[in-house]
Amino acid sequence: MIESPLLRTNAYIGGEWLEAENGKRFEVVNPLDNTVIATVADLSESETKIAIEKAASAFEIWKGYSASKRSRILKNWYQLQMEHARELARILTIEQGKPLGEAIGEIRYGASFVEWFAEEAKRIYGDVIPGHSSDKRITVIKQPIGVVGAITPWNFPSAMITRKVAPALAAGCTVVIKPSELTPLSALALAELAHQAGIPSGVLNVIPTTQASQVGIELCNNPMVKKISFTGSTKVGKLLLRQSADTVKKVTLELGGNAPFIVFEDADIDKAVEGLIQTKFRNAGQTCICSNRVFVHQSILTEFSTKLKEAIATLQIGNGLDKGVHIGPMIEQKAIDKVDALIQDAIDKGAELELGASVSEDHPSIYMPTLLSKVSPDMDIFSNEIFGPVIPLISFDSEHEVIQSANATPYGLAAYFYGRDYARIWRVAEGLEFGMVGINTGMISTTLAPFGGVKESGFGREGSKYGIEEYVSLKYMCWGNVN
């Protein structure tokens, strides 16, 4: 069992810590060794309904606070997250597995959304538009949309919450959060700090549950919820979009990816290798913007692959709490089985195994960094999101061909490429059908930029000046008889 001053194991509804009505609880395990670290209240749709009602009552008060007052309270929350960064990160590593250094990075990244949107709360500007006749005036204001249902994944159990909740609260909305059943402790720790920060009762609510679909149906069907914000798989995203149709909710979806990583012949190969290691092995390859298909120009393939193998050899695997570890466990056995199946299919169809393709002898939950060469589009690994520490190498000859191959996927979240020719950089950046493009960098996530995808990777943007738009609606006022 985990001990922590920030450990909370009941639901947080209307400012109170509550058990499930039927007393049910579920176990949360450490993915490294499957030991039980806590048991958490397992709520259902009836308590979700209550949480929505609390959020709806709180909305009437919270939306009336001045922007400065909401901003001050959000800044308190930010400060507390920064003060407790190490403890939040420890909880995160124990329930999710990522190395502690990465977990601290996630906590700071997550907190940065709270700081940013605390400022943006004061900049939700409207507009004045010249009237359509001499006695008319037009004004536009932005108003908070109402109660928000936020459904979040296990791979960033802290930052995916703050990235939704911070703009929602800044705009004057209230939220009901359903965290992943695999990682509820990070969400509940954030709720504890929200409580300490003075976020009023009912403004932020957390529903831990193993009954994701029932709780999801309640959030989508309940007419008091005006907006669904979801990060997770494309399959569940499509379901939530369909479920939200009957009550015509505003929806933001951040779904799966199949990121290409392209290395042109004029690229700085050392920097490209460094960037690939950063994008591929973060969180053991379990992020939606991890490079999924690595296209390398045939003229530099041998050099690139040699340097890549050398870089992979330096990666340390192990317990995320230990110093110097780069790769921790996969989230669950199912994830390992999926990666194994993708690798086997690729090998059966002609790919060559250069490194890895097995679990660690010491820790069967850790997948060894893996390199496959001679990968081609007919292999499942080309079209599926791998979500594991596997690099498939694909060689290419021409710019036109590689852009077509990169775009040959229903996904459109992140893409990366390395090269120096500035005209080509523009052509390729414009030609890639993805919401985010890293040019000579593998690190693109920042509070300051709009995160989000196109095609089946979803819609809506999180972070930046655009992020707040997801949580407001426009109201146009037509002033007549101005004589």
Binding interface with ligand ADP (CB under 6 A)? 151-154, 178, 180-181, 212-213, 216, 232-233, 236, 239
CB-closest chain residue to ligand ADP: 216
What is the closest distance, in whole angstroms, from the C-beta atom of residue 318 to ligand ADP in the complex? 24
Q: Which is nearer to ligand ADP, 42 or 399 (CB)?
A: 42
What is the closest distance, in whole angstroms, from the C-beta atom of residue 154 to ligand ADP in the complex? 6
Q: Which is nearer to ligand ADP, 196 or 333 (CB)?
A: 333
Whether residue 288 lies in the annotated active site = yes
DSSP letter assigned to residue 410:
S
What is the closest distance, in whole angstroms, from the C-beta atom of residue 164 to ligand ADP in the complex? 12
Q: In whole angstroms, how far apart are CA 416 and each of 75, 400, 429, 434? A: 34, 16, 9, 10
Given the residues 45, 95, 220, 288, the one annotated as active site: 288
Q: In whole angstroms, how far apart are CA 146 and each of 106, 168, 314, 456, 472? A: 28, 9, 49, 26, 8
Q: Which is nearer to ligand ADP, 92 or 393 (CB)?
A: 92
Alpha helices (H) in 131-199, listed in sequence order: 159-171, 184-197
First to last CA, the chain: 73
252: part of which helix (H) or strand (E)? strand 250-254
Q: At what angle do helices 159-171 and 100-120 cross, to 10 degrees?
A: 10
Q: What would the DSSP string read from start to end of 206-217?
A: E---S-HHHHHH
What is the closest distance, in whole angstroms, from the C-beta atom of residue 148 to ligand ADP in the complex? 15
CA-to-CA distance for 209 and 40, rounded, in angstroms?
8
What is the closest distance, in whole angstroms, from the C-beta atom of residue 217 to ligand ADP in the complex? 7
CA-to-CA distance for 9 and 472, rounded, in angstroms?
32
Two tokens at 258?
A: 């199949």
Whether residue 290 lies in the annotated active site = no
What is the closest distance, in whole angstroms, from the C-beta atom of residue 95 to ligand ADP in the complex? 13
Q: Which is nearer to ligand ADP, 239 or 449 (CB)?
A: 239
Q: In whole angstroms, how far apart are CA 315 and each of 100, 285, 309, 311, 473? A: 15, 13, 10, 7, 47
Question: What is the b/e burial string over 436-456, where b = at least 16 CB atoms within 10 angstroms of the residue's CB?
Answer: bbbeeebebbebebebbbebb
Given the residues 47, 102, 115, 254, the one annotated as active site: 254
DSSP letter assigned to residue 166:
H
The residues that are catalytic are 254, 288
